[in-house]
Amino acid sequence: MRDRQAYARASKLTSQPTETSHSRLAATYKAREVEGVLDLYFYRPIGLRLAEFFAQLKMTPAAVTLLGGVCGVIAGHLYYYRDLRINIVGMVLHVCANALDNADGQLARLTQRESRKGRIIDSVADHLVFVSIYFHLALRCVTEGSSLAIWVLALAAGISHALQGAAADYYRSTYLYFVANGGRIRIDSSSEVGLDYRRWHWRQGAWDKLLLALYLNFTRQQEMLAPHLKKLRDTASELFHGEIPGWLRARYRNLAGPMLKWWGLLMTNTRMLVLFALLLIGQP
């Protein structure tokens, strides 16, 4: 019943006059200031159209996430071939995967079905896409005569990628917590996730326990990478009980806002542009 009501609300939104399209699009942003230029003017508008389409089909955000993950994994495989035409098909699929990665979150907000489980599945899909890319690029180098040491380089690059992405996501989510959401949205800590993890048993709910295990590891990584930021968030939560005062929101925006664009360079769009440029010149 809840799902039918959510999709009914989404269907009603999609039938509103076109002059409200900008407000509908803005409603699917996490916050405009944390969105990149490509996101604002390309991926978010496309993602909204896709989200509205998927809402009419009654697809779940998780299903959209999995569809995007499949596109991304296939794109990674197509980067293996030393044929620019095949690589370009891979690039198109990679862009489609990123568009679907935007659409799943927009669909979740559109149908009011945001959840921790959905965020975990989204993170797993993102990691699988880049595992496919790094694996196939390394395999391409090996088949072209490179040293087997390329696998060590690929592993190091993958670990670096994961840590950079985790740190950038942590700083962005903290900005949303302090500035955009004013502390009203709860942010998971490793201690809280650990408690939830221990409540599940492998014999009953193995899938949920596995997802929580992955999420617990991810959350711990973020807290290790930015311990002072974690302390700030914990202190603010204890002092203000989920309602960040205006003076602190303004202070945090002024101090952290200028760094957002630099953290954005560690996110997916920058990596994709660099990868595409290297593929086009045949030197991925």
pLDDT at 229 over 60: yes
pLDDT at 7 over 70: no
Query: What are the pLDDT digits (tens) for 21-66?
Result: 677 777 667 777 888 888 888 999 999 999 999 999 999 999 999 9
Asked if residue 86 lies in contact with residue 114, where contact means CB atoms within 8 angstroms, the answer is no
CB atoms within 10 A of CB 227: 9
Share of the chain above pLDDT 70, in %: 89
pLDDT confidence band for 153 (50 / 70 / 90):
very high
Give the phi and the psi of residue 215 in degrees, each rounded to 5.
Answer: -70, -35
Distance of CA 66 to the CA centre of its chain: 13
The answer as to CATH 3.30.930.10 being correct for domain 2-280 is no
Ranking 97-111, 179-193, 227-241 by mean pLDDT, the lowest is 179-193
pLDDT at 9 over 80: no
Nearest-5° Cα angle at 111, 91 to 245: 95
Q: Give the number of C-alpha atoms closer than 13 A to the C-alpha of residue 268, restricted to the C-beta side.
A: 19
pLDDT at 19 over 50: no
Domain boundaries, the chain: 2-280
pLDDT at 190 over 60: yes
